[in-house]
Chains A and B, each alone.
Chain A
Amino acid sequence: MGLELTVDGERWRRHLVEATRARPGIVPVAKGNGYGFGLGRLARRCAWLAERAADTGSALDLMAVGTYPEVSQVVDRFAGDVMVLTPWRPSGATGADPEPHGRRVIHTVSRPTDLEDLTTREPGARFVLEQLTSMRRHGMTRHELIEVARVIEDRKLPGLCGIAVHLPLNVSSHLAEVRRLLNDVVATGLRTRTVFVSHLSPAELTALRSEFGDFTIRPRVGTDLWLGDRTALKATATVLDVHPLERGETFGYRGRSLPRSGHLVIVSGGTAHGIGLEAPLGDQSLRNRAATIARSGLDAVGLVRSPFAIDGKQRLFAEPPHMQASMLFVPSGGRVPDVGEDLEVRVRFTATSFDRVVVV
């Protein structure tokens, strides 16, 4: 019953070990909905990977979470340090005081004033300095890093753990940008050669490690680690009810009707799970934009393709999804599933909350 994520445990664990081995020094990222698995499970999996350090070659002394409130969900399950990816702010950080976890937390600092502020409150605070990249979200310029380097020297701050670099997606190669950023790190005079960096392919990582062998490059990995082997993961919904539907008959919350006869199939999974709440796609290709427009067109008529598939064929929503369930339309001639049958669902794992995660 419900929306379930079934994990082929053996396959998944094998992938986790391989992905970790391919990225020495990996910092697993567990944030948001925990990539569909939940933060607690991922934290336990990090602990499990840490135990296999001899096999993977990655000590795994550190994992990353997105926000301060997420820290408390992982600290009891994973014994290492926890890096918070959202930059520390004098206002925001205090809401979920990381103080109880003390020195296990590594803060991300993205403004010179925040470093002064943070270390005034907590002189021993451990932190990474976020560098401004072409993404231009958070981070400091070379001039700001020089300023920060002076603050660290003047106040003899002990907590510098490295540099954080968030690279954009969808670029052919990150190497040129990373080279420029690392040159800037050298130019600032900062006494760290540890860099936490996201979205590098194993090949890019190898190239950087060779060129910057005097640096410690630590890849932060989320999606490619947890969701890297999609064949190990299966999302399913359960058929809750099936009703025949004559042409023109009204149904649903809104009392609409359809110009064809067929069956209404009621399945588990609705807006509460993230079903039907389409996350904007990263892909901006013309083809995809055309597809979006086409879907909007369907919406106007009343039929939208759903993520639920019967025998591999994605079926249409009969009406917009409800909170816990969705109504699908199977036109006459299509196979009608039985109540209790599982249907495959295509979801974005990062935007879906499952009722149950089953590791088999």
Chain B
Amino acid sequence: MTSPRPSDRPTPLTVRPITSAEHRDFIAARPSASFLQTPAWARVKPEWRAESLGWLRDGELVGVALVLYRQLPKVKRFLAYLPEGPVIDWSDEDLAGWLEPLSRHVKQQGAFGIRIGPPVITRRWTAAQVKEGIADEGVRRLGDVAPSERSRVGASVVAQLEELGWRPQSVEGGFAAGQPQFNFVIPLVTEDGAARTEDDVLKGMNQQWRRNIKKAAKAGVVVEQGTREDLKAFHDLYVHTAGRDGFTPRGIGYFETMYDALSAEAPERISLWLARHEDDLVASTISIRVGTHAWYSYGASSTEKRDVRGSNAVQWEMIRHALASGASVYDLRGITDTLDSDDSHVGLIQFKVGTGGEAVEHVGEWDLPLNKALYAAFDLYMSRRK
């Protein structure tokens, strides 16, 4: 469907490749963007061809994207993947004006489809609402609970993507496909934008969190920021955690590459955290920050000495650091949307919910097939892989 555009409409946007420096500088000038959209992230994913793209209006750079070209098995055609991107003005009522030149460009590059993940929030739920939802037998998913807020921009993005023929990617269970649609975040500023105090953030946490943070301090847990040399210690603990919690760990090379690439782009981008009790490493984490957005990215914890609460201590230290760095949000990353108290994922949500803050839903990942036949084949391939 085409809508009549006003006659004083702005010059149409164009898309062209830009340099990593242009890309980096554009992001640096904005309050924040997903770290998955930084040029450095391309170096973390060397198995995919990456391209920095820019949107131009009247010669001015007004949007950027990191495109990862993922090859279809056996065919030299690609899925153009823009994780948590692109970085454009999502509040625009004319998203077609942004997305169509992107489609044309990646199609020329051999893409049979595009996948985007607009970094736009659609709904928010308070920690109390999530907690009540878990306690309520009749509630199984976050979506069954009325949100504390619905975003007009989020709703508009969803409506427009549907109208433009994009297809939402199912997020059954929340983790199945791509980036998580539901995250848990702690706002670090008040509604009028003023920074919150440490005390205020602490007060927002539940009693157990506050007690555990206190307990860790009393037990003598010390949290420090590490250096690249400490990645080995982090990784050993992370492999241990993977064995305990039953997930497949990534090799240390992945973390080294990530550390090097992100540090090179901005010294504060990636931080390694180590919580020690006496001489034992009890918890270790990685945090990332782009502008005012701070993420808790990877975490590991020992099975021994759980009672000294290293995990709570290291989280609190990361939150304090984010506050001190002027971040406006501390992002604990993905949660599943299950609120079913029998679901094994609910423990992770409860851990995150204890920090106070809120659950947020994003627009999610959406695909646009550019070549129907190849896209259908890819879709089939992905569904069989699951």
Q: How many Å lie between the Cα of A185 and that of B154 in the bound state?
A: 12
Is B150's CB within 8 Å of the partner chain A? yes
A210 and B144 form a contact (CB under 8 A) = yes
> Which among B3, B146, B152, B154 is the interface contact of A214 at CB below 8 angstroms?
B146
Is A278's CB within 8 Å of the partner chain B? no
User: A212 with B158: in contact, given A143-B3, A146-B93, A187-B152 (CB under 8 Å)?
Assistant: no
B146 and A183 form a contact (CB under 8 A) = no
User: A180 with B152: in contact, given A146-B93, A210-B146, A211-B144 (CB under 8 Å)?
Assistant: no
List residues 200-235 of chain A with CB under 8 A from any CB of chain B: 210-215
Is B145's CB within 8 Å of the partner chain A? yes
List residues 252-305 of chain A with CB under 8 A from any CB of chain B: none
B144 and A183 form a contact (CB under 8 A) = no
B155 and A187 form a contact (CB under 8 A) = yes
B152 and A186 form a contact (CB under 8 A) = yes
Residues of B within 8 A of A210 (CB): 138-139, 144-146
User: A183 with B143: in contact, given A146-B93, A189-B152 (CB under 8 Å)?
Assistant: no
Is B159's CB within 8 Å of the partner chain A? yes
Is B147's CB within 8 Å of the partner chain A? yes
Residues of B within 8 A of A185 (CB): 155
Q: Name, among B1, B150, B151, B152, the residue most crowded by chain A CB atoms within 10 Å (CB to CB).
A: B150
Is B162's CB within 8 Å of the partner chain A? yes
B144 and A186 form a contact (CB under 8 A) = no
Is B212's CB within 8 Å of the partner chain A? no
B159 and A184 form a contact (CB under 8 A) = yes
Q: How many Å lie between the Cα of A146 and that of B145 in the bound state?
A: 27
> Which among A146, A180, A186, A188 is the interface contact of B162 at CB below 8 angstroms?
A180
- Chain A residue nearest to B156 in the complex (CB): A187
Q: How many Å lie between the Cα of A186 and that of B154 in the bound state?
A: 9
A186 and B155 form a contact (CB under 8 A) = yes
- Chain A residue nearest to B153 in the complex (CB): A187
- Chain B residue nearest to A212 in the complex (CB): B146
Residues of B within 8 A of A141 (CB): 1
- Chain A residue nearest to B159 in the complex (CB): A187
* B 319-350 to A, binary, CB cutoff 8 A, 1 in contact else 0: 00000000000000000000000000000000
- Chain A residue nearest to B147 in the complex (CB): A214
Is A138's CB within 8 Å of the partner chain B? no
Q: How many Å lie between the Cα of A188 and that of B155 in the bound state?
A: 8
Q: How many Å lie between the Cα of A146 and that of B138 in the bound state?
A: 36
* B 134-171 to A, binary, CB cutoff 8 A, 1 in contact else 0: 00001100011111001110111011001100000000
Is A89's CB within 8 Å of the partner chain B? no
Residues of B within 8 A of A183 (CB): 155, 158-159
Determine the interface band of chain B, counting residues with CB < 8 A from chain A: 20 to 34
Is A104's CB within 8 Å of the partner chain B? no
Dominant secondary structure at the A interface = helix
* B 43-61 to A, binary, CB cutoff 8 A, 1 in contact else 0: 0000000000000000000
Is A142's CB within 8 Å of the partner chain B? yes
List residues 170-208 of chain A with CB under 8 A from any CB of chain B: 180, 183-189
* B 191-206 to A, binary, CB cutoff 8 A, 1 in contact else 0: 0000000000000000
Distance from B215 Cβ to chain A, minimum over Cβ atoms (Å):
37
Residues of A within 8 A of B151 (CB): 186
* B 1-45 to A, binary, CB cutoff 8 A, 1 in contact else 0: 101000000000000000000000000000000000000000000
List residues 51-96 of chain B with CB under 8 A from any CB of chain A: 93
Residues of A within 8 A of B159 (CB): 142, 180, 183-184, 187
Distance from A121 Cβ to chain B, minimum over Cβ atoms (Å):
27
B152 and A213 form a contact (CB under 8 A) = no
Q: How many Å lie between the Cα of A141 and that of B160 in the bound state?
A: 12
Q: How many Å lie between the Cα of A187 and that of B159 in the bound state?
A: 7
Q: How many Å lie between the Cα of A184 and that of B155 in the bound state?
A: 7
B158 and A187 form a contact (CB under 8 A) = yes
Q: How many Å lie between the Cα of A142 and that of B157 in the bound state?
A: 12
Distance from B171 Cβ to chain A, minimum over Cβ atoms (Å):
15
List residues 112-160 of chain A with CB under 8 A from any CB of chain B: 141-143, 146
Q: Name, among A141, A180, A187, A213, the residue most crowded by chain B CB atoms within 10 Å (CB to CB).
A: A187
Q: How many Å lie between the Cα of A141 and that of B139 in the bound state?
A: 32
Q: How many Å lie between the Cα of A214 and that of B163 in the bound state?
A: 25
Residues of A within 8 A of B3 (CB): 143
User: A211 with B143: in contact, given A143-B3, A146-B93, A186-B150 (CB under 8 Å)?
Assistant: yes
Q: How many Å lie between the Cα of A210 and that of B139 in the bound state?
A: 9
Distance from A317 Cβ to chain B, minimum over Cβ atoms (Å):
51
- Chain A residue nearest to B160 in the complex (CB): A187
Q: Name, among A141, A142, A180, A185, the residue most crowded by chain B CB atoms within 10 Å (CB to CB).
A: A142
Q: How many Å lie between the Cα of A213 and that of B144 in the bound state?
A: 9
A213 and B146 form a contact (CB under 8 A) = yes
Residues of A within 8 A of B155 (CB): 183-187
- Chain A residue nearest to B139 in the complex (CB): A210
Q: How many Å lie between the Cα of A174 and that of B35 in the bound state?
A: 39
Q: How many Å lie between the Cα of A215 and that of B155 in the bound state?
A: 15
Residues of A within 8 A of B163 (CB): 142
Besides A143-B3, A183-B158, A186-B154, 16 other A-B contacts (C-beta < 8 A):
A142-B159, A142-B163, A183-B155, A183-B159, A184-B155, A186-B151, A186-B152, A187-B158, A187-B159, A210-B138, A210-B139, A210-B146, A211-B145, A213-B146, A214-B146, A214-B147
The 4 closest A-B pairs by CB, nearest first: A213-B146, A186-B155, A187-B155, A187-B156
Contact surface of B with A, Cβ cutoff 8 Å: 1, 3, 93, 138-139, 143-147, 150-152, 154-156, 158-159, 162-163
* Interface pairs (30), CB distance under 8 Å: A141-B1, A142-B159, A142-B163, A146-B93, A180-B159, A180-B162, A183-B155, A183-B158, A183-B159, A184-B155, A184-B159, A185-B155, A186-B151, A186-B154, A186-B155, A187-B152, A187-B156, A187-B158, A187-B159, A189-B152, A210-B145, A210-B146, A211-B143, A211-B144, A211-B145, A211-B146, A212-B146, A214-B146, A214-B147, A214-B150
Contact surface of A with B, Cβ cutoff 8 Å: 141-143, 146, 180, 183-189, 210-215
